[in-house]
Amino acid sequence: MITCDVPLLGFCAYGSGIGKTTLLTSLIPVLTARGLNLSVIKHAHHTFDIDHPGKDSYRIREAGAVQTMLGSRRRWALMTEMSRISDREDDLRLAELLPHMDTALVDLILVEGFKQEPIPKIEIFRPALHKPLLATTDPHVIAVATDGPAPTTLPQLDLNDPHAIADFVQAWLAQQQNSLKIVSTQRP
């Protein structure tokens, strides 16, 4: 199991295009309106770029910088060009990315993708797509967000009701926080 200073909750699906990002973009505003501070780690399967040609930071990165940090009074971002320091062929693991998150700022880290990682997850499942249900083989799936019946005894959440999913997430988070309190009070 991956450890972190704050709870991690994954959102996974059998493949892409099933609605993980759509669910998160509707769920995040509900959770933040309820007072939670959230961070998100999203898995990308392909080469991606958050910078744009012609921008100074893009030019600096393209010139050979391993890391480029952008900062303003409103936000900052750090980009690390892994191809300059590693010839690895595999994707970064969640455990390699987590140390870069500032857990002091948040109550919960939502993880999109990373379906193979051993963290608690809510699976997005659409029966009409005829894809396998990951929950049948992944013991880390704790609930299924679906737009139809799913062949599982796990809690089934209405994929189209972000408030109901937020209720589930908050109840789960409260349980995690209570577990952390029990562990911390038992330490010498």
For the beta carbon of residue 185, count every other beta carbon within 10 angstroms.
7
Query: What are the respective helix, strand and coil percentages of the chain, to the nearest 5?
Result: 35, 20, 45
pLDDT digits (tens, 9 = 90+) for 123-142: 999 999 999 999 999 999 99
Evaluate if residue 54 carries a pLDDT over 90: no
Please say whether the beta carbons of 67 and 80 come within 8 A.
yes
Tokens at 120, concatenated? 């608690």
Q: Which residue has the higher pLDDT, 50 or 156?
A: 156
Evaluate if residue 92 carries a pLDDT over 90: no
Evaluate if residue 47 carries a pLDDT over 70: no
Closest by CA to 125, choosing from 163, 165, 175, 176, is 165
| Distance between CA atoms of residues 162 and 157, nearest Å | 9
- Classify residue 26 as exposed, middle or buried by CB count within 10 Å of its CB (0-12, 13-18, 19+): middle
Task: List the domains of the chain with CATH numbers.
Answer: 8-45+92-186 (3.40.50.300), 47-90 (no CATH)
**Summary count for the chain: helices (H), strands (E):** 4, 8
Report the predicted TM-score, pTM, of the whole model to 2 decimal places.
0.88
